[in-house]
Structure 1
């Protein structure tokens, strides 16, 4: 079975969440996580992304960088990043350099849809 794992360039926890909200409000252009910026507004998940996520055909997992490092300690990567997990093996699927070029939620959705079209069997 395939699964897509999204790793944000942000730490988990309430205090870190509050710091992220403040950063997004005060200086959104310098916020360090483009993946966060296109999937969330300052306070919550954006509606277009939420709808896409709910209706997507593959399992999705969302991790903060510290959660990813705790779960996959041997993988060295740059955040944000999206992995494809297949047969318990992770492959970097959308690297940071590609995520940094994305400007809108729709662009991210289209990229994911185009990459999953090549899957002959989604389950």
Structure 2
């Protein structure tokens, strides 16, 4: 199934989510999950991001780095946070790399995704 894979550079689970929220507030410059920092406030998804996701031409799936070995072992070791696109046959390719995401703000990330997904629409 064609879909987008948004992979957080964070660990799944409520305890980790609490620690991540504190890290974002106390030391945002050292917070390792760019995707989390751009798309989430202190406790929930930013409304503008949530609305943007509904406009995407492909379904979106969200994963944490510790989920990759079981679900997408080929992505283990890829720099994260990143966005990948999965083709019908299961091949996965980078759509937005960690290096590309690093300098972006939320409007910049949304613009880059719109641009790169335009041919898929």
Q: Report the TM-score, using the length of structure 1 for normalisation.
A: 0.90
| Residue aligning to 1:12 | 12
Offset of 1:25 from its aligned partner? 1.4
The aligned runs of 1:21-32 (5 Å cut-off) are 21-32=21-32
**Gaps (5+ residues) in structure 2?**
none
Offset of 1:47 from its aligned partner? 0.8
Offset of 1:74 from its aligned partner? 3.1
| Residue aligning to 2:34 | 34
Counterpart-to-counterpart distance in 2, 1:57 and 1:40:
22
Which residue, out of 93, 97, 100, partners 2:99? Answer: 97
Counterpart-to-counterpart distance in 2, 1:38 and 1:53:
14
| Residue aligning to 2:47 | 47
RMSD (CA atoms): 1.3
Greater per-residue helix proportion:
2
The aligned runs of 1:101-116 (5 Å cut-off) are 101-102=103-104, 104-116=105-117
Counterpart-to-counterpart distance in 2, 1:6 and 1:34:
11
**Regions of 4+ moved over 3 Å:** none
Q: How many residues get paired?
A: 119
Offset of 1:43 from its aligned partner? 0.9
Asked if 1 retains the 8 angstrom alpha-carbon contact of 2:84 and 2:96, the reply is yes
Counterpart-to-counterpart distance in 2, 1:69 and 1:109:
28
